[in-house]
């Protein structure tokens, strides 16, 4: 192998890469998945109560509820606008506080309190906003609540769905950029005859394969780190996270080279990716459903790269806690390298026969 020849092949692939739809899709996918999964599903599974307030007298209720965590407060000037937003389900509830409301409550009067509930709001949000408003009115009056609620948690608090979806996003960044891009690139070289043209020059098969592998490692590393940063889990130990991601990209790119060498044409390449998709994706599902038996995930090869990323980036562990997983990932990568070399000899023989 020659470093200069590998660099020339890699530089050519990087220069021509943006012309490929697959290359561009590998760059766009993490952003698209983050938008779909985090914005759509995150807001679906973790809805925050949305309260609109029209306050004509600087009420204590407005000040208190605005400072609360877990309630999305919108301050409005117009009552008609408040009612419209509640009717259109843009707000779960609406509260109108007339001027002098607090003073009237303290004087023992019974002022009118207009509280509107959205018909499509979650029942849990209705309860939260209703009870919160009543408790704040009691505080203004100076009376104690009739009951004291003591919240007791059993077991560890679960992670929000937005965090548990991170392995899914990172998985696709690694597989599309690390596996599909170098694999399809290699297949296209065979179909267009450019691979044979390169091999009649001083460029060796090993130079081409290593260059394709480096292309996958580089692109997968960048897109995986970008995915973690977009989802806010890159963390303060970002250097360790990058090291773990590079190991993950090395394994993913090795899978891509093996698939590219094995596939004779694009249809077979697409068939390999589609057929193996469920097998590769399986370990990411276990992070979305942590109650499933986790030992099953260890039966799949990509578990050994998803688990280190999860522990170091999301859970904030040090890289020392995942050395075993990283060692297994590097072992799988080395085995795939041997397999790629063996398949490359068969590929050369087939091209020579043609």
Over residues 72-100, the pLDDT tens digits come to 889 998 889 999 999 888 898 999 988 88
Specify whether 133 is located in the same domain as 190: no
Q: Specify if 221 maps to a domain.
A: yes
- Full domain range(s) for residue 104: 48-141
The reported pLDDT for the residue numbered 250 is 96
Name the region of 201 (left: φ>0; alpha: ψ -120 to 50; beta: rest): beta
Sign of CA dihedral 224, 227, 231, 235: positive
Specify whether 307 is located in the same domain as 174: yes
Query: In whole angstroms, how far apart are CA 301 and each of 143, 260, 340?
Result: 62, 18, 17
Specify whether 169 is located in the same domain as 209: yes
3-state helix, strand, coil in the chain (%, to 5): 70, 5, 25
Q: Specify if 34 maps to a domain.
A: yes
The reported pLDDT for the residue numbered 33 is 82
Specify whether 84 is located in the same domain as 189: no
| Residue 77 exposed, middle or buried by CB count within 10 Å (0-12, 13-18, 19+) | exposed
Specify whether 110 is located in the same domain as 231: no
Q: Specify if 245 maps to a domain.
A: yes
Name the pairing type of β-strands 50-55 and 114-117: unpaired
Q: Is the pLDDT of residue 216 over 80?
A: yes
Residue 114's beta-bridge partner residues? 96
In total, how many domains does the chain have? 2
Q: What is the mean pLDDT of residues 288-315?
A: 88
Specify whether 76 is located in the same domain as 124: yes
| CB 89, CB 118: distance < 8 Å | yes
Structural domain ending residue among the three candidates 109, 141, 173: 141
pLDDT tens, position by position, 33-77: 887 776 666 554 456 788 999 998 888 888 888 888 778 889 998
| CB 178, CB 220: distance < 8 Å | yes
Give the E-state strand segments of the chain in sequence order.
Answer: 50-55, 72-76, 93-97, 114-117
| CB 215, CB 13: distance < 8 Å | yes
The reported pLDDT for the residue numbered 159 is 64
The reported pLDDT for the residue numbered 330 is 95
Specify whether 217 is located in the same domain as 280: yes
Tell me which DSSP letter residue 320 carries.
G
**Residue 286 pLDDT level (bands cut at 50, 70, 90):** confident
The reported pLDDT for the residue numbered 145 is 53
**Distance of alpha carbon 211 from alpha carbon 205, whole angstroms:** 10
Specify whether 259 is located in the same domain as 276: yes
* CATH value at residue 57: 3.40.1710.10
Q: Specify if 129 maps to a domain.
A: yes
């Amino acid at each position: 192998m020659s470093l200069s020849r590998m660099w020339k092949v890699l530089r050519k692939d990087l220069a021509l890469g943006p012309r490929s739809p697959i290359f561009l899709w590998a760059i766009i996918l993490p952003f698209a998945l983050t938008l779909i999964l985090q914005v759509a599903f995150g807001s679906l599974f973790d809805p925050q109560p949305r309260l609109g307030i029209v306050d004509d007298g600087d009420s204590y209720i407005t000040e208190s509820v605005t400072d609360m965590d877990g309630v999305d407060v919108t301050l409005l000037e117009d009552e008609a606008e408040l009612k419209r937003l509640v009717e259109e389900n843009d707000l779960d509830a609406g509260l109108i506080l007339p001027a002098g409301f607090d003073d009237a409550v303290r004087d023992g009067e019974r002022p009118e309190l207009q509280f509107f509930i959205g018909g499509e709001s979650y029942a849990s949000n209705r309860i939260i906003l209703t009870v919160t408003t009543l408790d704040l009115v009691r505080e203004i009056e100076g009376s104690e609540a009739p009951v004291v609620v003591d919240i007791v948690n059993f077991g560890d608090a679960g992670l929000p769905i937005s965090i548990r979806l991170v392995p899914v996003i990172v998985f696709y960044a690694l597989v599309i950029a690390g596996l599909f891009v170098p694999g399809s690139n290699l297949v296209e070289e065979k179909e267009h005859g450019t691979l044979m043209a390169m091999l009649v020059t001083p460029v060796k098969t090993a130079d081409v394969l290593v260059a394709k592998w480096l292309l996958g490692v580089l692109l997968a590393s960048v897109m995986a780190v970008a995915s973690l940063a977009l989802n806010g889990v890159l963390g303060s130990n970002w250097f360790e996270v990058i090291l773990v991601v590079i190991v993950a990209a090395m394994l993913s790119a090795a899978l891509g080279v093996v698939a590219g060498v094995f596939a004779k044409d694009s249809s077979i390449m697409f068939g390999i990716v589609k057929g193996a998709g469920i097998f590769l994706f399986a370990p990411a599902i276990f992070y979305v459903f942590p109650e499933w038996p986790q030992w099953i995930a260890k039966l799949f090869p990509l578990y050994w790269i998803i688990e280190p990323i999860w522990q170091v980036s999301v859970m904030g562990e040090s890289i020392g806690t995942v050395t075993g997983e990283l060692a297994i990932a590097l072992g799988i990568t080395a085995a795939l390298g041997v397999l790629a070399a063996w398949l490359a000899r068969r590929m050369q023989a087939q091209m020579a026969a043609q």
